[in-house]
Structure 1
Amino acid sequence: MRQVVITKYGSPDVFDVRELPTPSPGEGEVRIQVRAAGVNFADVLARLGLYPDAPKPPMVVGYEVAGYIDAKGPGVTALFEGDRVMALTRFGGYADTVVVPARQAFTCPSELCDAEAAAAPVNYLTAALALYRMAALAPAETVLVHNAGGGVGVAATQLARLRRATVIGTASAFKHDALRSFGVDHVIDYRHADVAAEVRRITHGRGVDVILDPIGGRSFLASYRLLAPLGRLVMFGLSSAAPGERRSLWRAMRAWIATPRFDPLSLINRNRGVFGLHLGHLWEERRQLAPLMEMLLSELRGGRLTPVVARTFPLERAGDAHRFIQSRCNIGKVVLTT
């Protein structure tokens, strides 16, 4: 089997393709011949040494894949060899073969190509947990989605539209036409506009009901201040810690220092809620994740959700995929193909 290995912390040049013996599935596991693997910003943070959960180098990152089951271990009864699946991997996804617990593999909707299937699990689960479970988004509410052009941002827009919510999205100007076509009602160029002033103008000074913020640092506090009464902020990333291709502990520390600590009395007095979301720490919560995943699969089969793939790269060009993400040029998901 082939794996793309991060040999040390650093720039996208640290990837190396290596050959390893093909693993065999154990009790309750399936082996998947990977056709496509999703790339997430958490992978970038791991490459830079800024993701505490990641293994130490040499390591293989990657949270999600799509492909075909070619072997299964004892005790697997619901999946079979030849089944086309999408799966959550929790590292190890940058490979042409993976072994995962059968409970983390799901029959892939036939309507999706391999790249679209690999683009779905992490982004849509994250967005669904944020909007539907934590924020309990209701019809006619207003959602502010930061980084609306990213994979989670596009997924969140689609899910918010299913709840008939109004969507405000922040993104670079060249992404605005695409985001409007996805259903974003109001797009703000965060590079040149005063985001807070624009949000207040759009909401007539009231603020927004739900905010999804993957940026971190000072952005968390700015987002909190834009919440309407009974508003909910969901924080799920720290992309401000990695503005460049190379590792900078100083920049990461600046982002961390700028991260606010929320005062319980302020939350009470202002009738606001603040949530933190880390999908990677929910792997064992199948009872919580399974109903959401089944709902997402149903919506994907029905065409009411459509993964947007910004660009695909061959597996051996994982470094170029990371460069593309860090250039902030992607509209939708970046995917590796085998």
Structure 2
Amino acid sequence: MKQIVITKYGDPDVLKIQERKDPQPSAEEVLIKVKAIGVNFADILARKGLYPDAPKPPCVVGYEVSGTVESAGPGVDASIVGQSVVALTRFNGYSDRVCVPEKAVFTIPESLDFEHAAAIPLNYLTAYQLLYVMGGLKKGESVLIHNAGGGVGLAALDISLHLEATTYGTSSVGKHSFLMERGLNYPIDYRNQDFLSSIMNLTGGKGVEMVLDPIGGNNWKKSYKALRPTGRLGLFGVSTVTDSTMGRVFQFIKLIAQTPRYNPLRLMNANKGVFGVNLGHMWNERDKISGWMQEILKGVEKGWVRPHVDRTFRFEQAGKAHRYIEARKNIGKIVLVTGG
């Protein structure tokens, strides 16, 4: 098999294709011949040495794939062989073949091709956990989605619209028309507008019931201020660490220095809540994730889950895919295709 290996920390040129022995499925696993691979910001952080959960180089990252089941290990019903599936992977997703626990594998709805199926798991599961499971967003409430044009942002927009919430979203102005066509009520140009002032002006000084913030640092402080009483701030990333030209150690020191401290007594007095989501730490909760994924796939069939693939890159173009995301050019998902 072929894998895209992070050979060392660095720029996208450190990604190299290497040949490895084909894997064999263990008990309760299946072997997937991969057709498409979802590319996520966590992959970029891992490549730069800014993602503590990732294995150290040389390593293979990747959290989601789609393809066909090539073989089944002991304890797996052999009828699954040949089926078109989408799967969650605990790294090793940047491969043209990968073994995955059967519980992490889901049948692809007929309306989806492999590329759009690979665009679903991480983004929609993260957004579902943020908005529905932990955020409890309800009809008539309002939500501010930072980086609304990203993969999780578009997934959150789909779910928020399904819940009949009022939506606000930050993005560069070039993405506003697309987002409004997708249903976003109020776009905010984060480069030329102060999002906190914009939210307060748009809501008559009240603020919103939810904010989804993957940015970190000082942005979290402003997002908290954008909440009205009973508001919830969902934290799920620290993309700000990639904006610095400092070394890895100094980037983490700066991040820690800028991170706000949420005092329990002040939270009580303000009637506000703060919570965090890291899907990468949910691997031992497979029953929960499986249930959420089934609901999301039902959403595909009913039409309210609409995965958007901005662009596909060939397997050997993983470095170009990373550069494209880092330049913030994408609207929605970037996917690698194996051609297999």
TM-score normalized by structure 2?
0.97
1:170 aligns with 2:179: no
Q: CA deviation at 1:305?
A: 1.0
- Which blocks of at least 5 consecutive residues in structure 2 are unaligned? none
Q: CA deviation at 1:110?
A: 1.3
After TM superposition, list the pairs within 5 Å mapping 1:279-318 onto structure 2. Answer: 279-318=279-318
Matched letter for residue 203 of structure 1:
T
Report Cα offsets for 1:119-168 as digits up to 9, x if no partner: 00000000000000111010010000000000000000000000000110
Q: CA deviation at 1:247?
A: 5.8
Structure 1 window deviating more from structure 2 (79-88 vs 39-48): it is 79-88
Secondary structure of 1:242 counterpart: helix
After TM superposition, list the pairs within 5 Å mapping 1:39-78 onto structure 2. Answer: 39-77=39-77
Q: Which residue of 1 aligns with 2:36?
A: 36
Report Cα offsets for 1:6-65 as digits up to 9, x if no partner: 000000110000011101101000000000000110101100101111001000010000
Matches of 2:127 and 2:147, distance apart in 1: 13
1:108 aligns with 2:108: yes
Judge conservation of contact 2:37–2:93 (CA < 8 Å) in 1.
yes
Report Cα offsets for 1:156-187 as digits up to 9, x if no partner: 00000000001100000100000101111000
Structure 1 window deviating more from structure 2 (34-43 vs 236-245): it is 236-245
Q: CA deviation at 1:255?
A: 2.4
Q: Which residue of 2 aligns with 1:138?
A: 138
Q: CA deviation at 1:245?
A: 8.8
Q: Which residue of 2 aligns with 1:223?
A: 223
User: Residues 155, 223 of structure 1: CA spacing in aligned structure 2 closer, same or farther, 3 A cutoff?
Assistant: same
Matched letter for residue 271 of structure 2:
N
Superposed structure 1 runs of 4+ greater than 3 Å apart: 244-249
Taking every aligned residue pair, what percent have the same amino acid on both sides?
50
Matched letter for residue 54 of structure 2:
A
Q: Which residue of 2 aligns with 1:261?
A: 261
User: Residues 267, 75 of structure 1: CA spacing in aligned structure 2 closer, same or farther, 3 A cutoff?
Assistant: same
User: Residues 246, 83 of structure 1: CA spacing in aligned structure 2 closer, same or farther, 3 A cutoff?
Assistant: farther
Matches of 2:84 and 2:129, distance apart in 1: 25
Secondary structure of 1:136 counterpart: coil
Secondary structure of 2:193 counterpart: coil
Q: CA deviation at 1:85?
A: 0.4
User: Residues 7, 246 of structure 1: CA spacing in aligned structure 2 closer, same or farther, 3 A cutoff?
Assistant: farther
Matched letter for residue 318 of structure 1:
A
Matches of 1:97 and 1:224, distance apart in 2: 43
Matched letter for residue 202 of structure 1:
L
Q: CA deviation at 1:248?
A: 4.5
Secondary structure of 2:80 counterpart: coil
Q: Which residue of 2 aligns with 1:333?
A: 333
Matches of 1:256 and 1:18, distance apart in 2: 36
Matches of 1:113 and 1:315, distance apart in 2: 17
Q: CA deviation at 1:303?
A: 2.0
Matches of 1:186 and 1:61, distance apart in 2: 35
Q: Which residue of 2 aligns with 1:234?
A: 234
Judge conservation of contact 1:242–1:248 (CA < 8 Å) in 2.
no
Judge conservation of contact 2:104–2:290 (CA < 8 Å) in 1.
no
Q: Which residue of 2 aligns with 1:27?
A: 27
Q: Which residue of 1 aligns with 2:188?
A: 188
Report Cα offsets for 1:264-298 as digits up to 9, x if no partner: 11100000010010001001112322221111011
Q: CA deviation at 1:243?
A: 1.9
Q: CA deviation at 1:219?
A: 0.9
Q: Which residue of 1 aligns with 2:270?
A: 270
Judge conservation of contact 1:123–1:151 (CA < 8 Å) in 2.
yes
Secondary structure of 1:177 counterpart: helix
Q: CA deviation at 1:200?
A: 0.3
Matched letter for residue 287 of structure 1:
D
Judge conservation of contact 1:48–1:246 (CA < 8 Å) in 2.
no
Q: CA deviation at 1:309?
A: 0.6
Matches of 1:265 and 1:49, distance apart in 2: 36
Q: CA deviation at 1:77?
A: 2.5
Q: Which residue of 2 aligns with 1:161?
A: 161
- Which blocks of at least 5 consecutive residues in structure 1 are unaligned? none
TM-score normalized by structure 1?
0.98
Secondary structure of 1:99 counterpart: strand
Q: Which residue of 1 aligns with 2:88?
A: 88
Paired residues, what number? 338
How big is the alpha-carbon RMSD for the aligned residues of Structure 1 and Structure 2?
1.3
Matches of 1:293 and 1:15, distance apart in 2: 30
Matches of 1:308 and 1:253, distance apart in 2: 36
Q: CA deviation at 1:256?
A: 2.7
Matches of 2:129 and 2:284, distance apart in 1: 15
